[in-house]
Amino acid sequence: MTYLPSPVGGQSRHLGTKKSLMVTTAFAVVAAAGSIVAAPAAHAASSGNVVVNGKFASSTAGWQTKSASQHLVWRDHGRKSHGAARLTSSSGKKVVLNDAVNSITSAHKGEIVKATAWVRSKKSGLSGQLRLKEILNGHRVAVGKSQFRLTASGWTRVTLSYKVTRNGSSLDLNVVARHVVRGQALRVDDVKLKVTSSPAGEDHLTPGGQAMLGMSSPSQFWDQRVSEVGSGLQARRLFFNGFDASLNLATKACAAGMYPIMSFKTGSYSWAQVAAGNADAALKTLNTRLTALNCDVFVAIHHEPAKDGTAADWSKMQVHALPILGVGADVKVGVIGNGWWWSATSQGYTDAEIAAWITPAVIKVSDVIAGDTYQSTTTSEEAAPKMIRMGSWARRVGGVKALGVGEFNGPTAIGITHAAAALKADPLFAWGCMWNSTGGIATVLTGDRLAAFRTALAGW
């Protein structure tokens, strides 16, 4: 998510970044050259975007930098629009792209806003943040940040969802890059800021956004797979064997601007023991470690449970453990079932069979209900029908706040295209991750399948 993420990314409904938001996705900053320009009065576009000149159509009007050593100029090579902002520094220090007039001048406590921007850098390694400063009576009262580190592989999309803490405050939108040395520059394009939820809305998973598109791959292949698929990944699926496992990979995902979608096995505890409270101390400690991360996260306990134990033990475990694990706005919780439960083939479950695992009580304590939707062969049922049926199921049973796809695969390019389209089309979906490695019924993305996923990312 994002969640708001939507997550909290793109138009994700979920995540924001720490600490008063819901989810983050990748973000970048641009150091741009030069001058400070006066901004026209802020106004909301018909799309709901309140940012002035966020597409940098023909100039940098509406934007400024923070000091004389920071340089902001307009360039006619943007992402999809007419141009982009370009930032450089003559001192080799930080640069700040700042809205000359705060994009929101009078916010309401409890509102959730989402900022997005596209950024790129000619050289790898530039880091920074998308930032919203909440200002009241001339003083900063809170701040939301989405960290990033850029590669040189093209435009990167970053999102930040933020919950307003004070009535009447204004929101100052910045894109910040650190240590912009000679020969380095950042470009920024297509900046947006929208109010996505009113104070009366839910404190998580606002409906109506667009899912985050991410990837799953073994850690030893992760960097290679990222370089192959290119920019645009918003989430990363991660797996842990126990509640005390190291969170280093989640830390790396946060630093890369990706939303960690985390699955924990129970380690030395049985499902029944977790349900009985034997693991409460371990769950509380894990929650503390998760909230200390520099981004919001999603957490599930024992994904794809079929054939690993009884439905009664698994569902009781979720009902007891998820409220402990999900304390705080930083951590969203839920379950990841077997995707074939929603299959249209003979192996698919009825609503009653699904309800044995995902009971009404499980739905109640879950921010997201997810499944891993695989296609076993090139001629078998694709992932997309399972996603579509998940949406129909959620609306039938009621109470589902958001859906997710922990992993999906595609033995064919068209199957990948269909899956991405299904994920994007249903506003209930918060996120979905492409499985990109060889193992079991899935294989690493190559050729036209890799091209299909790259096209999906580019169009997200």
- Average pLDDT value for the chain: 85
Quickly state the pLDDT bin for 13 (edges 50, 70, 90).
very low
Q: Note the pLDDT of residue 356.
A: 98
Count of all residues that appear for the chain in the document: 460
d(CA 133, CA 114): 13
Q: What is the pTM of this model?
A: 0.61
The 3-state DSSP class for residue 363 equals helix
Among 102-106, 303-307, 384-388, the least confident range: 102-106
Tell me what the mean pLDDT of segment 362-383 comes to. Answer: 95
Quickly state the pLDDT bin for 163 (edges 50, 70, 90).
confident
Please name the helix (run of DSSP H) or strand (run of DSSP E) that holds residue 447, with its range, or none.
helix 447-458
Q: Note the pLDDT of residue 295.
A: 82
Query: What does the pLDDT look like over 228-240, one tens digit per residue?
Result: 999 889 899 999 9
Q: Note the pLDDT of residue 197.
A: 67
Q: Note the pLDDT of residue 245.
A: 97
Among 242-256, 266-280, 350-364, the least confident range: 242-256
Helix (DSSP H) and strand (DSSP E) numbers for the chain:
10, 19
Quickly state the pLDDT bin for 437 (edges 50, 70, 90).
very high
Q: Note the pLDDT of residue 174.
A: 95
Better pLDDT: 42 or 441: 441
Of 27, 28, 21, the residue nearest 1 (C-alpha): 21
Among 36-50, 65-79, 283-297, 396-410, the least confident range: 36-50
Tell me what the mean pLDDT of segment 19-45 comes to. Answer: 30
Quickly state the pLDDT bin for 205 (edges 50, 70, 90).
very low
* Domains recognised in the chain with CATH numbers: 21-197 (2.60.120.260), 212-458 (3.20.20.80)
Percent of all residues in the chain with a pLDDT value above 70, rounded to a whole number: 87
Tell me what the mean pLDDT of segment 28-43 comes to. Answer: 29
Query: What does the pLDDT look like over 259-285, one tens digit per residue?
Result: 999 999 999 999 999 999 999 999 999
Q: Which two tokens mark 371?
A: 């499944």
Quickly state the pLDDT bin for 3 (edges 50, 70, 90).
very low
Quickly state the pLDDT bin for 48 (edges 50, 70, 90).
confident
Tell me what the mean pLDDT of segment 52-68 comes to. Answer: 91
Give the neighbor-by-neighbor strand order of the sheet with 170-177.
63-64, 95-99, 170-177, 127-136, 139-149
CA 103 to chain centroid: 23
Q: Note the pLDDT of residue 214.
A: 95
d(CA 228, CA 220): 14
Among 41-50, 153-162, 378-387, 401-410, the least confident range: 41-50
DSSP state of 449: H
Q: Note the pLDDT of residue 23.
A: 30
Confidence check: pLDDT of 9 > 70? no
Quickly state the pLDDT bin for 38 (edges 50, 70, 90).
very low
Quickly state the pLDDT bin for 76 (edges 50, 70, 90).
confident
